[in-house]
Structure 1
Amino acid sequence: MTKPIPDTEPTPAHGPPTARTGYRWELLVLLWLAFFLNQADRQIFSVVLPLIRRDLGLSDAELGLIASALVWTYGLLVPVAGFLGDRFSRRNILGFCLLFWSVATLFTGFCATLLQFVLLRGVATGGGEAFYAPSANALLGERYPEKRAFVLSIHQTAVYFGIILSGLIAGYVGEHYGWQRAFYLFGGFGILLAAVFFSRIPKDIRASVADSQTLADVGRTARVIVRKPTVVLLTLGFGCMVFVNVGYLTWMPSFLVDKFGLSLTDAGFSSLFYHHLGAFLGVLSGARIADHYARINPRSRLVVQSAGLLLGAPFIYWMSQADSQPLTYAALFGFGMFRGWYDSNIVASLYEVVPDRMRSSAYGLMLACAFLIGASAPYLLGVLKPTLGLSTGLASLSACYVLGSGLLGLASFVYFQRDREA
């Protein structure tokens, strides 16, 4: 059995650049699978929700509480995950959080009461998933400095596959074998993947140099991050994007049912597939464009993100106002395509202005703020639905994309150079 190569980044003085190629791609593949499960495990509950309601008799309010518990737990813990990712072995953090949320997902299949669902699906699954993204993106950013946006974009495609395939697989398993087995299947696969991850990926050097950080140290790190206007504007722009995304994911299936009379199955598939197909193509093309121009001017990453939001805004409006299914699906595709441009550089843009020692912390804070902002979108659209209508509510999301584009443009042309040199 081939032993994995030690987890240290070589320089030309220590050996040929190709010596680590196998391990670097192995790391990306394993993290892609982990991120796939990170997103899939989050979606299972929504897919089999009607079956849980029927079998256990939970009310809509109780089911909403279970869903909210995951979002709020994630948002509150992800900054903690970011700070820990800058101080301890990222390999250990990733392996243990994958194992933790997978065990929680598996045991969710045994739930029979509201409290059990809140604790296992909401707090445990959400808490475990919160520790993944900051360490994973920081680790990939370190290992692929010259292809950072492209590699992080490949990693980002796991979001789209996780959302779409979990809907198909969990829906089929739940319909034919019971909703419990959907949780058993995904949780069991995650436990197996965690075992492979620990056996193939060696402990990174950060574990041997991590020191005990006081609360004062953490506070100083946070102050350095928030004093960079570029980071603040990137975070607010991310919040605009998450607000739109959460609102779209929550209400688009119902919109298609109400407007075109689709079944729940058809509406669920159509609302996700066309958008995420466009996002998959957009995230790869956006990364290539950004990596090419960033060699000349690093602010190009922010410009690509800003352009993605600005060009995506008309498609959001068109998506909600189109009179036919084909035009709606075309708008969903365009919306996804330019959303992918934005996604391709979320992490890479942040890393341009944040020191390596703070990258995981900065991304954790960014995620927390964005998720706490975005969590209100479903509620606000629900409030507007009886008076203005869902079509108008969805159309108004385009304004958030325009606002986000302006914030990123301001960051790129006013503050970026100064913050990058600081």
Structure 2
Amino acid sequence: MSASAPPMNDADNARPLPGAWLVVGLLWLAGCLNYLDRVMLNTMRDSIKQAVSMGDDGFGGLTTGFLIVYGLLSPLGGWCADRFGRSRVILFSLGGWSAVTWATVYVQTYEQLLATRSLLGICQVCYIPAALALISDYHRGSTRSLATGIHMTGVYAGMALAGMGGWMADHHGWASGFWVFGSFGVALAIVLSFFLRDVPHASQANAGQPPVDVFETLKTLAGSGNMWIITLHWGLLGFAGWAFITWMPSYLREQFDLSQTEAGFTASVYTQVAALAGVLIGGAWADRWSRTQIRGRLWVPMIALTLASPFVFLSAHTDTLVVVSVCLIAFGFARGCSDANMMPILCQVAAPQHRATGYGVLNFFGCLIGGVAAYLGGWLKERDVDLSYLLMGSAIGVLLSGLLLAVVKPARRD
């Protein structure tokens, strides 16, 4: 892949630029590792609590601490990608979070573990906005949702593989996973540095005009009613998503008397395999629909989330593991349809120079509300309140998040 790509023209809007699919493939590996490193801890609750003294609210607080830091810094992380270049920020993020993952091996106290989770949030905050913006730069028109969806399969593969954390903790100690995947991430950052390059925006290539500053970008985004709607949509979906990620392994273990390994794999594999299908089918479906209907990218996740909400509610009201598995599949598929189309929807709302920052704003609200869900689960458990109430709240969030997309009015086709 060359260091730069040719300027955009009208024909480029219908096809990806040279090297576009290589970018997706490289970022697939990074996206996989991104979520594996952040989610793996949730599959080894018992092992972590034995090694580092804490209660259930403290365990939930580890995810909440990560999400608060990640959420608060997300707009700044997205702006860094708009300001300093997508590929440079991606490499910095990948190398940083992998080093922190590796360093987690050496923690001995709860405070140290909480500090590493916070540092993980700081280092990971730039990656997703930068990666999705870079993919959108290379993929225009008819391949944008599918390309985004393929990248998101890496994210879901990472969350599915995070189930290995419980197995590795049971057989090799809780620190083994952090050592293995942290080392792999540092090596991956070195490899990506030889291949990953930015696409210059036409607006920045002309006359050397300075990029928009962060305050002007945030002011522009805040003035968009569509941006407020999709931000609320993403926040509600974040509540459900992080409730499932943080507490579904514990819920399954207690409800169905599963081992730590069985609960970790059940909670992650069914949801994430379904999400793999969701991002591919939902991405291709939205790309096709958007050719004839400007709202096509909105309608796909709206339909999927609305239909999935009863299954999320049912997961809290069944004593049959098979039924819960079906519910996890339904939620995972719907979440995949949404994830494949979130950046493409943002591209219909925000100008190119604001898109990474815009996705950072979405992450800000999604992570803060998701952090509330993560902590709320621990708070409920400390008071002997069943986690099914958290799942019922998640079902309401999924339904509302889907319905909100019906009122978004795209300002641009692509």
TM-score normalized with structure 1 length: 0.88
Match of 1:124 in 2: 119
Match of 1:303 in 2: 299
Cα deviation digits, residues 302-347 of structure 1 (max 9, x gap):
1112112111111112222223222221222122222222222111
| Change beyond 3 A, Cα 1:79–1:282 | same
Q: Which stretch has the larger CA shift, 31-40 or 205-214?
A: 205-214
- Find the partner of 1:290 among 277, 281, 286: 286
Match of 1:357 in 2: 353
Cα deviation digits, residues 18-65 of structure 1 (max 9, x gap):
9964x3222111111111111011023223443333234455555444
Structure 1: distance between partners of 2:42 and 2:324: 23
1:275 aligns with 2:271: yes
Match of 2:193 in 1: 198
- How far off its partner does 1:269 sit? 1.4
Structure 2: distance between partners of 1:300 and 1:6: 34
Structure 2: distance between partners of 1:349 and 1:20: 20
> 2:243–2:390: 8 Å Cα contact kept in structure 1?
no
- Find the partner of 1:189 among 184, 199, 202: 184
> 1:141–1:148: 8 Å Cα contact kept in structure 2?
yes
Letter matched to residue 420 of structure 1: R
- How far off its partner does 1:284 sit? 1.0
Match of 1:235 in 2: 231
| Change beyond 3 A, Cα 1:203–1:284 | closer
Structure 2: distance between partners of 1:196 and 1:43: 24
Equivalent residue of 2:348, what SS? helix
| Change beyond 3 A, Cα 1:105–1:212 | farther
Letter matched to residue 173 of structure 2: G
Letter matched to residue 412 of structure 2: R
Match of 2:145 in 1: 149
- Find the partner of 2:3 among 1, 6, 13: 6
TM-score normalized with structure 2 length: 0.90
Match of 1:136 in 2: 131
| Change beyond 3 A, Cα 1:54–1:47 | same
- Find the partner of 2:46 among 33, 46, 50: 50
Cα deviation digits, residues 188-224 of structure 1 (max 9, x gap):
111111101111224654798987668xx42222121
- How far off its partner does 1:383 sit? 5.1
Letter matched to residue 191 of structure 1: V
Structure 2: distance between partners of 1:101 and 1:396: 32
| Change beyond 3 A, Cα 1:103–1:212 | farther
| Change beyond 3 A, Cα 1:211–1:71 | farther
Structure number with bigger Rg: 1
Structure 1: distance between partners of 2:286 and 2:156: 20
Match of 2:393 in 1: 396
> 1:74–1:368: 8 Å Cα contact kept in structure 2?
yes
Match of 2:324 in 1: 328
> 1:48–1:174: 8 Å Cα contact kept in structure 2?
yes
| Change beyond 3 A, Cα 1:42–1:369 | same
| Change beyond 3 A, Cα 1:71–1:211 | farther
- How far off its partner does 1:394 sit? 1.5
Structure 2: distance between partners of 1:88 and 1:397: 37
**How many residues of Structure 1 are paired with residues of Structure 2 in the alignment?**
408
Structure 2: distance between partners of 1:49 and 1:328: 21
> 1:226–1:232: 8 Å Cα contact kept in structure 2?
yes
- How far off its partner does 1:12 sit? 7.9
Match of 2:365 in 1: 369
| Change beyond 3 A, Cα 1:112–1:35 | same
> 1:47–1:167: 8 Å Cα contact kept in structure 2?
yes
Letter matched to residue 402 of structure 2: S
- How far off its partner does 1:165 sit? 0.9
> 2:53–2:110: 8 Å Cα contact kept in structure 1?
no
> 1:91–1:204: 8 Å Cα contact kept in structure 2?
no
Structure 2: distance between partners of 1:270 and 1:153: 23
> 1:73–1:122: 8 Å Cα contact kept in structure 2?
no
1:171 aligns with 2:166: yes
Match of 2:404 in 1: 407
| Change beyond 3 A, Cα 1:292–1:97 | same
Match of 1:420 in 2: 412
Structure 2: distance between partners of 1:252 and 1:194: 32
> 1:5–1:20: 8 Å Cα contact kept in structure 2?
no
Higher relative contact order (CA 8 A, sep 6+): 2
Q: Structure 2: which 5+ residue stretches go unaligned? A: none
| Change beyond 3 A, Cα 1:376–1:312 | same
Structure 1: distance between partners of 2:15 and 2:275: 31
> 1:316–1:394: 8 Å Cα contact kept in structure 2?
yes
| Change beyond 3 A, Cα 1:56–1:219 | closer
RMSD: 2.8
Equivalent residue of 1:323, what SS? coil
> 2:102–2:179: 8 Å Cα contact kept in structure 1?
yes
Structure 2: distance between partners of 1:18 and 1:223: 32
1:345 aligns with 2:341: yes
| Change beyond 3 A, Cα 1:377–1:7 | same
Letter matched to residue 216 of structure 2: R
